[in-house]
Structure 1
Amino acid sequence: MEIFNKYFKEYDWWYEENRWVYLSEVEVLRKVIPKGKKGLEIGVGTGRFAKELGIEYGIDPSEKMLSIAKERGIKGFVGRGESLPFSDKEFDYVALIITLCFVENPDNVIKESKRVLKDGGKIIIGIIDKNSSLGKLYLEKKKEGHKFYKYATFFSVDEVVDLLKRHDFRDFVFYQTLFKPLEEIKEIEEPKEGFGEGSFVVISAEKSGKID
């Protein structure tokens, strides 16, 4: 994750350069983020999403990224999703927004997310669907050695659902956005339910009472 320490300012500036893309992603996440509940964002980065969505707590392996998140008012912790420094059943929801593709062990991250969730709590995952037009573009950039994407493992919606089902998550809800090429998005797009049209997909599921 040294790449995120090295290019943390460039990473954060991307959201300024692609403001309407970012705000469209925020808008679709609002559909599933519980209001007034205790939340944690794994891979909080510079806190762009956490600040807009009212997520109080964040964890990230990059100290440089977290320094910006803390300036944005996030209670940040240095660490990884595979080993969360929080108690069992501490949060009402856990969010992973453009994070799952960069973790070393997705299975352990989901297991840890479940551990820190209250019974009936929600996991919320935002991904660039690898089967979408943008997903296919990012896969090409990965092959070309892009400084960020070369480290990414992109997922399809079905792969994320299968991963969550292995840990007994249930009651799935899907929303999507980014229906046009990024350079053509000049306003906040209206989110749609489901998936298969938009490149950015949000998957929400509920924790069951079963123990991993």
Structure 2
Amino acid sequence: MSNIFDKYHKRYDMWYDKHRSIYLSEVEAIRRVLPKKGKGLEIGVGTGRFASALGITAGIDPAKNMVTIARQRGVDARLDFGEDLSFKNASFDYAAIIITLCFVKDPLKVLKEARRILKKNGRIIIGIIDKDNFLGKFYQKKKSVFYKEANFFSVKEVEDLLRAAGFSYFSYYQTIFRLPKKIDSIERPRKGFGKGGFVVISARSR
């Protein structure tokens, strides 16, 4: 999967400029649950769009060209795999996995690794396109170069994975309430899930 993102890294990054209102709506939803202090890591940092906007100082990604751009945005990014993170136990206060879980080979292993590198009561923040929602169904039909091989999750499926990885105390925010072509301004995030296409799930390590 990293080969796709390496090959089309510029196309991927330009999407955020073309769909800026969607991007900023997602940033605002994540910000609602993001800790205001502490050391954070973004797993699947990509080109650093979210990490740089949210003040997440560190990130990992298996795509070399993505990591290069993330570094240019000021993120301490390194080549690494979410299934086998090269960090010591209890290294971070929180970890973010934003529109990444659907692309990894072993989601449960990634979440277990996230728990390992988190401090006690550390927070994990997951951003997903809800497969049970209109947006998930839209992207599954669209079959873009990126999403054609994605394995989308429902909120319930992510909850189950998080519990299996040792997380609890869930909270949710949602945004993107219309199809992408109809969004021309930032959409305010709302608590819960079920209506917004982009859902943020926050939990704490047990």
Q: TM-score, normalised by structure 1?
A: 0.95
Q: C-alpha separation between the residues in 1 aligned to 2:185 and 2:173?
A: 18
Tell me the equivalent position of 1:6. 7
Q: Distance in 1 between matches of 2:20 and 2:105?
A: 29
| Unpaired segments ≥5 residues, structure 2 | none
Matched residue, 1:163: 161
| Corresponding residue of 1:149 | 147
Shift of 1:30: 0.4
- Mapped to 2, the partners of 1:139 and 1:183 lie a distance apart of 16
Asked whether the 8 Å contact 2:112–2:166 carries over to 1, the reply is no
Please give the alpha-carbon distance, in whole angstroms, between the structure 1 residues aligned to 2:37 and 2:116. 21
- Equivalent pairs, count: 205
Between the aligned partners of 1:155 and 1:56, the Cα distance in structure 2 is: 27
Distance 2:168 2:108 in 1: 16
Extract unaligned runs of 5+ from structure 1. Answer: none
Q: Which residue of 2 aligns with 1:116?
A: 117
Q: 184-193 or 110-119, which moves further after superposition? A: 184-193
Give the superposition deviation at 1:141.
Answer: 2.5
Please provide the CA RMSD for this pair. Answer: 0.7
Query: What percentage of aligned pairs have identical amino acids?
Result: 56
Question: By how many angstroms is 1:185 displaced?
Answer: 1.2
Relative to structure 2, which stretch is displaced further, 151-160 or 133-142? 133-142
Paired AA for residue 134 in structure 1: L
Q: Which moved more, 1:37-46 or 1:147-156?
A: 147-156
Listed as ranges, the matches of 1:84-99 within 5 Å are: 84-99=85-100
Partner of 1:74: 75
> Residue 124 of structure 2 aligns to which amino acid in structure 1?
I
CA–CA distance in 2 between the matches of 1:102 and 1:41? 15
- State the one-letter code of the partner of 2:136: G
> TM-score, normalization: structure 2?
0.98
Task: Write the deviation string for residues 84-141 of structure 1: whole angstroms up to 9, x where unpaired.
Answer: 0101000000000000000111011011000000000001000000011110011112
